[in-house]
Structure 1
């Protein structure tokens, strides 16, 4: 989709707050009738603007009480080694997010596990087992101040 008009953006803003809303509820919230809302939503979905519909869980309530951000440096930066690292990280369920970054480190990982013992297991048996790891520096989250998944669109 090349451009999103104001109405498309309002639809997306509403969906980012509650993706369970049906078309009638979305239409009511944005002040449009059901049929045009449905057609716009299908067009937006087809364009790939919406990646997926998900349920966000409260980590503490499902036993995931430890969150860490890991700064990772690689020893060498050849394309095959980078691809191998990224493939290994993509397969690790403890890694919730991974970013290739510029600066002092090469990657920033968001890791969520049950407790410190599980983090140590992850670090020593999974992350450190990847070929070409240079350094890992971990920062542990004490309090989450803000966490959002919604983009400001209006």
Structure 2
């Protein structure tokens, strides 16, 4: 089900679920203008099509003891497919990395790393990032504060 095939009801369902994935079928149907049965069928179709990838709880990182966000730019020695794949596989295993993007421009990857404090970041850097073969340079930027965070995509 490509994005172009989403109708207005599907879009309303996606907006409502992004705002609160715990809505009851009745409430979700009401917001989308459907009764509960067709509403549940549409949600199942969105899930089956991979448009809805899953459901999560958004956790306050500071309240769980992980107040530090570090944005890490990585430059690899070479940008061949094998090196890109090796880096991506390693990063996927590291719980400290909550976001990882393959980039254009001066750097190859941009990571967002969350840790409890500066010594924890130093440990991550020394025991994981710097030990990864093929990394040419690492540049870390510490977030001073968060201006906006959203998990809601503008589907309307």
Fold match (TM-score > 0.5) = yes
> How large is the RMSD of aligned CA atoms in angstroms?
0.9
Q: Which residue of 2 aligns with 1:24?
A: 26
Q: 1:133 aligns with which of 132, 135, 145?
A: 135
Q: Verify the 8 A CA contact 2:66 2:115 in the aligned structure 1.
A: yes
In structure 2, list runs of 5 or more residues that go unmatched.
none
CA distance in 2, matches of 1:43, 1:90: 29
In the TM superposition, 1:52-91 aligns within 5 A as 52-91=54-93
CA distance in 1, matches of 2:121, 2:133: 19
SS of the residue corresponding to residue 138 of structure 1 reads: strand
Q: Verify the 8 A CA contact 2:75 2:135 in the aligned structure 1.
A: yes
TM superposition score normalised by structure 2: 0.95
Q: Deviations over 1:102-146 (max 9, x none)?
A: 001000000001110000000111100100111111111111000
In the TM superposition, 1:5-154 aligns within 5 A as 5-154=7-156
CA distance in 2, matches of 1:63, 1:40: 38
CA distance in 2, matches of 1:22, 1:113: 35
Task: Say how many residue pairs are matched.
Answer: 154
Shift in Å, 1:63: 0.2
CA distance in 1, matches of 2:38, 2:65: 43
Between stretches 106-115 and 41-50, larger displacement belongs to 41-50
SS of the residue corresponding to residue 59 of structure 1 reads: coil
CA distance in 1, matches of 2:36, 2:78: 55
